[in-house]
């Protein structure tokens, strides 16, 4: 087990190193610099600015400096947002994305599992068809369309919610729903199919034969097994929701991390581009790692195979 | 039957989650934002969108409209500008200008900083020298060149030998500031309301990061900082120590940072904003026509001194040929572009200097008509044929028209390409480029036709005319004319307004005859403002001034 973990960690470290290097050189390869604007600034001033940020050094030297700082966990200062460290931009922005993300995850799990069960219990009846229709819609409508639709109908037309911002607790509702629709639909379909499978299994028939109540069978025997595929989906889903809320945040005017990612590239804010890329990479890899770990705990076959390899 | 109780358990869980969600930590600002509509009839908070976080709130570092919009409420320079763009007294009550126009002596009024300290001439000397400091933290000011009119400023800033003491700004005493210029600069007074010339409190030298948080920003203008939620909102409240605090009627100004223009409009519609659109927001282009009808009492469009044009690369065929350049600018029907494509009330452009810029007595554009050419399709065709003959070609290769990625630029480019194709029979390929790539290509003359835009820095035709001198970093056309450079140099040296305007007129004609650019239109700003707000305006160059705004319900 320890070997398995160490191997995974080493792999993450190497991946991050390759990613950081590739991003660094790609970023330097695109034309432009942080000080460009429609109104060109005088050459002498531009040179002072470049010297200030070490951009006048040869690329390999800039690379070594950056990597050295990175090893000391120093992501540097933003070149566009003055007096702001990259770490603090990530900290502030991520807090919004994380808050929203967690609520959206909870909502999608609850709603998804619930709908999945309803569908399975009403197999081939109206409620089943209806739920599946909802799920198909949920999977196929992009979340920014959902976001804009919710904003227009519930915000502008009915005035139930504020159009944008995160000032009131109720302001979380619309972005949370917009983020949760797709994963909820996906979970509903997962739950439904594994539930259908489980419900016809022998041990359920045994339980029924024993005369257990419908609720006990459902909760204690059926749901427990049926929910396993959902658990394995939670890892990647968490990473997706937290890193993929760019457009929803944009629509609801929430100062999350997503917009910085796009803007940092347009602005050639080199330190911020690097910081955000690495941060997202760490999140995604951590989610994968934890999922792998969970598999290893749940399913003994995975432990075996890794031992064989190692 | 049993299922029902399961369902109700789950429903209860859902309800609990909703409650938990409802109890998420509330942000502090909430208590203060509520005043938005709660105040009395005359003391409302004015709410508008900045779209993005200001890159800085240090006047010395500010280069963009977003930070200027906030700074203009926080700080006041030696002069202010009114709605017409005229200079009115600010922190300086009056001033004397020497015979040769090179020495300005400003006499300051009794004014105070938001912490009660007096605003002195020494503060201005300190602030301007600070902006010029090549060691300024966190980085040297990119806009320091706005101060280069001052004697030895450029030399000190770029390490050319002058010491800080040689820079031509000196506090004679607490109330008198003497400024020496390199040459007579007739628009120098109007520069005093530009952000780089704003004063900052002397305490900033002890705290590098002072401009990054609300608590350390000490200001001398009509408002002071009350709250700054990074990437979310900024709130200003009236500055009780402002010398004209009686003129400040708003209860405060609330800026939000919402990047999406449709969201901004929705917030306006649901009364979460009092202003939507320019200068720091945007009305979605496809909504303009509908809003013009549905919200006609709240819909405004104002021409500003800003121009949209295409650059022609005079170093690359076929635009090396003057006749072909002329043909291309003649073969467009600009009114169709402004009426059917951009639709925000833009004015077709045929010259270099937009309306709104001061001339001798009236606007320059009123005194000097921009009738340098007409849209004559037959003549255009003839010129194109002659030009092609001079180049020795029988057919033109497809022309490449590049612009930076944006819906509006794309629509304009499509319309222009279509007109050139229809009117001149040439094929035009339109190509969008990412901002940084586009700027680099344009600077290196790596294009055939490229989009450009220019807004006025100060209220004088020079802000446009010196754009196309051979040494201008913003020329980007390859156009270089000794005669033009001489005219501009003469205008710089000339003090007499009438003669200067005559020189501008000659220079503009010379440049337009060479037609290194295809002028398309003079910009117009479109915005919505809630009824009841008065005294808030967009000035000649497109800056919003809310400092003397008030509400009358």
SS3 annotation, chain A: CHHHHHHHHHHHHHHHHHHHHHHHHHHHHCCCCCCCCCCCCCHHHHHHHHHHCCCCCCHHHHHHHHHHHHHCCCCCECCCCCCCEHHHHHHHHHHHHHHHHHHHHHHHHHHHHHHHHHHHHCCCCHHHHHHHHHHHHHHHCCHHHHHHHHHHHHHHHCCCCCCCCCCCHHHHHHHHHHHHHHHHHHHHHHHHHHHHHHHCCHHHHHHHHCCCCHHHHHHHHHHHHHCHHHHHHHHHHHHHHHHCCHHHHHHCCCCCCHHHHHHHHHHCCHHHHHHHHHHHHHHHHHHHHHHHHHHHHHCHHHHHHHHHHC
The predicted-structure confidence for B144-182, as pLDDT tens digits, reads as follows 999 999 999 999 999 888 999 999 999 999 999 999 999
Residue contact A156–B10, C-beta within 8 A: no
Burial of B387 (0-12, 13-18, 19+ CB in 10 A): buried
The percent of residues in chain B predicted with pLDDT above 70, rounded, is 92
pLDDT for B36: 43
Whether the bond into B88 is cis, omega within 30 of 0? no
- DSSP label at B384? H
Q: Which of the four pLDDT bands, split at 50, 70 and 90, describes residue B38?
A: very low
Pair of tokens at residue A236? 């990647």
Q: Which residue of B has its CA nearest to A170?
A: B22
The percent of residues in chain A predicted with pLDDT above 70, rounded, is 96
Residue contact A163–B231, C-beta within 8 A: no
Distance from CA of B111 to the nearest CA of A (A): 29
Q: Which one of A28, A29, A30, A45 would you mutate to disrupt binding with B, by most B Cβ within 10 Å of its Cβ? A: A45
Residue contact A82–B1, C-beta within 8 A: no
Helical (H) or strand (E) element with B68? helix B65-74
Burial of A210 (0-12, 13-18, 19+ CB in 10 A): exposed
Which residues, at least 6 apart from B220, have a Cβ–Cβ distance to it below 8 Å? B75, B76, B91, B111, B112, B113, B114, B119, B123, B199, B201, B239, B242
Whether the bond into B138 is cis, omega within 30 of 0? yes
Which residues, at least 6 apart from B130, have a Cβ–Cβ distance to it below 8 Å? B60, B136, B200, B204, B205
pLDDT for A298: 65
- In this structure, the number of other CB atoms found within 10 A of the CB of residue A12 comes to 16
Which residues, at least 6 apart from B277, have a Cβ–Cβ distance to it below 8 Å? B264, B283, B525, B526, B527, B528
- The whole-angstrom separation of Cα B214 and Cα B543 is 23
Distance from CA of B94 to the nearest CA of A (A): 32
Residue contact B22–A30, C-beta within 8 A: no
Q: Of B93, B539, B36, which Cα lies nearest the Cα of B303?
A: B539
- The whole-angstrom separation of Cα B205 and Cα B200 is 10
pLDDT for A304: 44
The predicted-structure confidence for B500-531, as pLDDT tens digits, reads as follows 999 999 999 999 999 999 999 999 999 999 99
Pair of tokens at residue B472? 């201008």
Q: Which one of B60, B194, B231, B265 would you mutate to disrupt binding with A, by most A Cβ within 10 Å of its Cβ? A: B231
**Residue B145 at interface with chain A, using a CB cutoff of 8 Å:** yes
Q: Of A21, A46, A44, which Cα lies nearest the Cα of A35?
A: A46
Q: Of B278, B230, B134, which Cα lies nearest the Cα of A81?
A: B230
pLDDT for A108: 92
Q: Which of the four pLDDT bands, split at 50, 70 and 90, describes residue B18?
A: very low
What is the β-pairing status of strands B449-455 and B399-404?
parallel
- In this structure, the number of other CB atoms found within 10 A of the CB of residue B221 comes to 25
pLDDT for A308: 43
Q: How far is CA A141 from CA B265, B372, B448, in A?
A: 24, 53, 42
Q: How confident is the model over B194-211, as a mean pLDDT? A: 92
What are the chain B neighbours of A162 within 8 Å (beta carbons)?
270, 272
Of B27, B142, B262, the CB nearest to A41: B142
Taking 90 as the threshold, does the pLDDT of residue A38 lie above it? no
What are the chain A neighbours of B141 within 8 Å (beta carbons)?
45
The predicted-structure confidence for B219-259, as pLDDT tens digits, reads as follows 999 999 999 988 889 999 999 999 999 999 999 999 999 98
Of B21 and B335, more confident: B335
What are the chain B neighbours of A36 within 8 Å (beta carbons)?
435-436, 439-440
- DSSP label at B305? E
Residue contact A162–B142, C-beta within 8 A: no
Q: Which one of B212, B257, B261, B266 would you mutate to disrupt binding with A, by most A Cβ within 10 Å of its Cβ? A: B266
Which residue carries 């005559």 as its tokens?
A: B502
Strands of B465-506 (E only): list them.
none
Q: Which residue of B has its CA nearest to A103?
A: B21
Taking 90 as the threshold, does the pLDDT of residue B117 lie above it? yes
Taking 70 as the threshold, does the pLDDT of residue B120 lie above it? yes
Of B2, B17, B138, the CB nearest to A82: B138
Q: How confident is the model over A105-118, as a mean pLDDT? A: 91
Pair of tokens at residue A43? 């050459």
The predicted-structure confidence for B539-551, as pLDDT tens digits, reads as follows 988 999 999 999 9
Q: How confident is the model over B417-424, as a mean pLDDT? A: 95
Burial of B542 (0-12, 13-18, 19+ CB in 10 A): buried
- The whole-angstrom separation of Cα B14 and Cα B8 is 10
Residue contact B436–A263, C-beta within 8 A: no
**Residue B300 at interface with chain A, using a CB cutoff of 8 Å:** no
What are the chain A neighbours of B443 within 8 Å (beta carbons)?
40
pLDDT for B276: 96
Of B229, B272, B453, the CB nearest to A162: B272
Distance from CA of A12 to the nearest CA of B (A): 32
What are the chain A neighbours of B144 within 8 Å (beta carbons)?
45
pLDDT for A301: 57
pLDDT for B380: 94
Q: How confident is the model over B306-311, as a mean pLDDT? A: 95
The predicted-structure confidence for B314-337, as pLDDT tens digits, reads as follows 999 899 999 999 999 999 999 999
Helical (H) or strand (E) element with B47? strand B45-49
Q: Which of the four pLDDT bands, split at 50, 70 and 90, describes residue A300?
A: low
Pair of tokens at residue B335? 């009114």
Distance from CA of B51 to the nearest CA of A (A): 9
Taking 50 as the threshold, does the pLDDT of residue A42 lie above it? yes
- The whole-angstrom separation of Cα B106 and Cα B172 is 10
Residue contact B260–A250, C-beta within 8 A: yes
What are the chain B neighbours of A213 within 8 Å (beta carbons)?
2
Pair of tokens at residue B117? 């300290």
Distance from CA of B102 to the nearest CA of A (A): 24
Q: Which residue of B has its CA nearest to A252?
A: B263
Rounded to the nearest 10°, the torsion over CA A16, A17, A23, A28 is 160
Which residue carries 């409420």 as its tokens?
A: B73
In DSSP terms, B103 is beta-bridged to B180
SS3 B169: strand
What is the β-pairing status of strands B399-404 and B428-433?
parallel
Residue contact A83–B138, C-beta within 8 A: yes
Residue contact A82–B211, C-beta within 8 A: yes
Instruction: Supply the mean pLDDT for chain A.
Output: 86
Pair of tokens at residue B292? 């013009």
> Sign of dihedral through CA atoms A63, A66, A70, A71?
positive
Pair of tokens at residue B111? 């004014």
pLDDT for B37: 46
Distance from CA of B437 to the nearest CA of A (A): 5
Taking 80 as the threshold, does the pLDDT of residue B40 lie above it? no
**Residue B257 at interface with chain A, using a CB cutoff of 8 Å:** yes
The predicted-structure confidence for B355-391, as pLDDT tens digits, reads as follows 999 899 889 999 999 999 999 999 999 999 999 999 9
Q: Of A25, A33, A31, A32, which Cα lies nearest the Cα of A64?
A: A25
pLDDT for B3: 45
**Residue B55 at interface with chain A, using a CB cutoff of 8 Å:** yes
Which residues, at least 6 apart from B6, have a Cβ–Cβ distance to it below 8 Å? A215, A218, A219
- The whole-angstrom separation of Cα A24 and Cα A22 is 5
Whether the bond into B279 is cis, omega within 30 of 0? yes
Q: Which residue of B has its CA nearest to A263?
A: B52
Of B63, B257, B258, the CB nearest to A37: B63
What are the chain A neighbours of B3 within 8 Å (beta carbons)?
121, 214-215, 218
Residue contact B6–A215, C-beta within 8 A: yes
B 457-496: CB under 8 A from A: 457, 473-474
Helices (H) and strands (E) in chain B, counts: 18, 21
Percent of residues in chain B assigned helix, strand, coil, to nearest 5: 35, 20, 40
Residue contact B6–A219, C-beta within 8 A: yes
Of A32, A84, A218, the CB nearest to B212: A84
- The whole-angstrom separation of Cα B497 and Cα B462 is 12
Of A33, A48, A121, the CB nearest to B3: A121
Pair of tokens at residue B291? 């809003």
Helical (H) or strand (E) element with B502? helix B497-514
Q: Of B192, B176, B223, which Cα lies nearest the Cα of B75?
A: B223
Q: Would you say the ipTM is above 0.85?
A: no
Instruction: Supply the mean pLDDT for chain B.
Output: 89
Taking 90 as the threshold, does the pLDDT of residue B264 lie above it? yes
pLDDT for A259: 81
Contact assessment for residue B48 and residue B273, using Cβ atoms and an 8 Å cutoff: yes
Backbone phi, psi, residue B161, to 5°: 120, -30
The predicted-structure confidence for B385-415, as pLDDT tens digits, reads as follows 999 999 999 888 999 999 998 888 999 999 9
Q: How confident is the model over A33-51, as a mean pLDDT? A: 86
What are the chain A neighbours of B33 within 8 Å (beta carbons)?
167
């Amino acid at each position: 087990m320890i070997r398995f973990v160490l191997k995974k960690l080493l792999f993450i470290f190497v991946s991050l190193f390759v990613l950081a290097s590739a991003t660094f050189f790609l970023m330097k390869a695109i034309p432009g610099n942080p000080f460009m604007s429609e109104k060109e600034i005088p050459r002498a001033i531009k040179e002072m600015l470049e010297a200030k940020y070490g951009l006048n050094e040869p690329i390999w030297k800039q690379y070594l400096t950056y990597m050295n700082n990175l090893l000391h966990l120093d992501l540097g200062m933003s070149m566009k947002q003055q007096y702001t460290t990259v770490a603090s931009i990530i900290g502030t922005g991520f807090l919004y994305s994380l808050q929203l993300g967690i609520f959206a995850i909870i909502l999608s799990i609850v709603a998804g599992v619930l709908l999945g069960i309803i569908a399975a219990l009403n197999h081939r009846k109206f409620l089943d068809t209806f739920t599946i229709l909802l799920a198909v819609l949920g999977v196929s409508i992009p979340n920014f369309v959902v976001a804009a639709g919710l904003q227009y109908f519930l915000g502008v037309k009915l005035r139930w919610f504020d159009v944008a911002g995160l000032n009131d607790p109720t302001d979380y509702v619309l972005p949370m729903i917009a983020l949760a629709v797709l994963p909820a639909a996906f979970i509903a379909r997962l739950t439904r199919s594994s539930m259908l499978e489980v419900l016809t299994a022998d041990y359920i028939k045994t339980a029924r034969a024993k005369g257990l109540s419908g609720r006990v069978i459902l909760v204690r025997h059926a749901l427990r097994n049926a929910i396993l595929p959902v658990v394995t989906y939670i890892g990647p889903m968490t990473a997706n929701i937290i890193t993929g809320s760019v457009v929803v945040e944009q629509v609801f005017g929430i100062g999350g991390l997503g917009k910085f990612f796009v803007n940092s590239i347009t602005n050639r804010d080199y330190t911020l581009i690097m910081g955000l890329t690495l941060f997202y990479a760490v999140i995604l890899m951590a989610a994968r790692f934890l999922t792998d770990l969970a598999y290893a705990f749940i399913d003994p076959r995975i432990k075996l195979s890794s031992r064989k390899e190692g | 039957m049993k299922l029902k109780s399961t369902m109700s358990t789950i429903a209860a869980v859902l309800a609990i989650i909703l409650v938990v969600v409802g109890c998420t930590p509330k942000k502090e600002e909430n208590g203060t934002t509520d005043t938005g509509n709660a105040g009395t009839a005359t003391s409302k908070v004015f709410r508008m969108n900045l779209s993005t976080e200001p890159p800085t709130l240090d006047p010395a570092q500010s280069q963009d409209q977003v930070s200027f919009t906030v700074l203009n409420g926080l700080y006041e320079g030696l002069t202010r500008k009114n709605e017409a763009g005229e200079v009115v007294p600010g922190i300086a009550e009056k001033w004397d200008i020497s015979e040769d126009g090179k020495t300005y002596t400003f006499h300051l009024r009794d004014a105070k900083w938001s912490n009660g300290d007096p605003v002195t001439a020494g503060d201005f000397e300190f602030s301007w020298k600070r902006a010029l400091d090549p060691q300024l933290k966190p980085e040297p000011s990119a806009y320091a060149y706005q101060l280069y009119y001052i004697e030895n400023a450029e030399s000190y800033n770029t390490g050319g030998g002058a010491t800080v003491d040689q820079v031509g700004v000196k506090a004679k005493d607490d109330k008198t500031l003497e400024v020496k210029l390199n040459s007579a600069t007739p628009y120098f007074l109007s520069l005093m309301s530009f952000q780089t010339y704003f004063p900052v409190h002397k305490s900033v030298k002890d705290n590098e990061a002072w401009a990054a948080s609300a608590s350390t920003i000490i200001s001398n203008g009509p408002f002071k900082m009350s709250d700054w939620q990074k990437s979310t909102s900024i709130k200003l409240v009236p500055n009780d120590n402002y010398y004209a605090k009686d003129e400040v009627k708003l209860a405060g100004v609330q800026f939000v940072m919402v990047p999406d223009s449709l969201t901004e409009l929705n917030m306006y519609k649901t009364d979460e904003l009092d202003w939507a659109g320019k200068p720091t927001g945007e009305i979605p282009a496809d909504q303009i026509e509908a809003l013009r009808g549905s919200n006609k009492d709240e819909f405004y469009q104002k021409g500003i001194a800003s121009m949209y044009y295409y650059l022609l690369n005079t170093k690359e065929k076929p635009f090396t040929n003057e006749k072909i350049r002329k043909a291309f600018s003649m073969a467009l029907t600009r009114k169709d572009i402004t009426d059917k494509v951009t639709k925000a009330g833009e004015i077709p452009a045929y010259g270099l200097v937009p309306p709104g810029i001061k001339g001798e007595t009236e606007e320059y554009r009123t005194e000097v008509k921009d009738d340098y050419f007409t849209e004559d399709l037959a003549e255009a065709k003839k010129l194109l044929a002659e030009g092609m003959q001079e180049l020795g070609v029988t057919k033109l290769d497809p022309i490449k028209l590049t612009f930076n990625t944006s819906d509006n630029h794309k629509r304009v480019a499509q319309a222009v390409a279509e007109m050139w194709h229809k009117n001149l029979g040439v094929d035009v390929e339109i190509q969008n480029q990412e901002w940084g790539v586009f700027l680099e290509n344009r600077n290196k003359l790596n294009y055939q036709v490229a989009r450009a835009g220019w807004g006025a820095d100060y209220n004088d035709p020079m802000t446009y005319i010196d754009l196309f001198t051979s040494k201008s970093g913003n020329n980007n056309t390859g156009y270089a004319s000794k005669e033009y450079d001489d005219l501009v140099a003469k205008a710089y040296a000339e003090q007499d307004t009438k003669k200067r305007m005559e020189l501008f007129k000659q220079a503009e004609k010379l440049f337009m005859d060479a037609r290194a650019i295809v002028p398309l239109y003079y910009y117009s700003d479109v915005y919505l403002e809630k009824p009841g707000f008065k005294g808030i305006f967009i000035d000649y160059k497109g800056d919003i001034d809310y400092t003397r705004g008030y509400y009358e319900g």
